[in-house]
Structure 1
Amino acid sequence: MGTITRGKWMGHLGMLLAPRELEALLWVAQDLTTKEIARLMQVSPGTVANGIERAIFKLRAKRRMDAVMKAWDKKIISPLCIALAGLIAMHSAISDSDPMRRDRRAPERREAVFRIARKAESFDHYA
């Protein structure tokens, strides 16, 4: 089973929607208009509208965003941020001794600011 990635969304082929319907739905998930989707897919706006309507019908949705939510519930589409977060969590669980990991050091600058302030206060006492 293959995947299609459009913008910030990823769709899984062979689940319910045809490839062009899935691609149009991925662009709908990014809140693009029919004309904007048509420009990106290099087809006419009518073709895009028909593809979106077929996707809405197949998903038994009422509106465009309802179709996106139903496709997300059926795991046909998913935002890439979820996949990235899962990858990061898996990586951190596997390797606990990462050489790129930075531990927090004591705040040296804050101490220097306090020393300067105390020194300034001590000059005020002598004046």
Structure 2
Amino acid sequence: MDTIQIDGWQGRLGQGLAPRQLLATLYAAKDMTAKQIAKHMDCSPSTINKQLESARYNLSEHPNYIRTIRGLCLEAMKRGIIAPLVLLLCIATGIGTIDHNVRRPVRAPKVAVRYVARQEVA
């Protein structure tokens, strides 16, 4: 499977986005502006805006058009197109799995002590 990795994010090719659209989406997931993304991809910010617009159109179901970059990143994550590498590492190693047979100790109830200071009015 072909993937693109950028600073802690991984994107999967062949899942509905062109390579440049996927690259722009990965940079957008890192909370970068179109101008910052354009510097990294050696193109103009208007080209980045067009790439992200095309990516939003490609991932949207026709009546429910994705309107924001945040929505694009969320939809791409829901579909498994992009993911943080930390999450992928946890899934691959089995970290974060829940063992339901573990008995947790019963904790003593917390006791709150409250001090009230009153000032006498003369």
Q: TM over 0.5: same fold?
A: yes
Write the mapping of 1:107-122 to structure 2, written as runs, cut at 5 A.
Answer: none
Runs of at least 5 residues in structure 1 that lack an aligned partner in the other structure: 91-127
Shift of 1:87: 3.4
Runs of at least 5 residues in structure 2 that lack an aligned partner in the other structure: 61-65, 96-122
The residue number in structure 2 matching 1:31 is: 31
Separation in structure 1 between the aligned mates of residue 53 and residue 6 of structure 2, nearest angstrom: 19
Amino acid at match of 1:67: L
Separation in structure 2 between the aligned mates of residue 39 and residue 63 of structure 1, nearest angstrom: 21
Percent identical residues: 37
Separation in structure 1 between the aligned mates of residue 3 and residue 88 of structure 2, nearest angstrom: 13
Amino acid at match of 1:86: I
Counterpart check, 1:15 vs 2:15: yes
SS in 2 for 1:81: helix
Runs ≥4 residues deviating over 2 A: 86-90
Out of 74, 80, 87, the residue aligned to residue 79 of structure 2 is 74
Scaled by the length of structure 2, the TM-score of the pair is: 0.70
Amino acid at match of 2:5: T
Root-mean-square deviation (CA, aligned residues, Å) is: 1.2
The residue number in structure 2 matching 1:65 is: 70
| Count of paired positions | 90
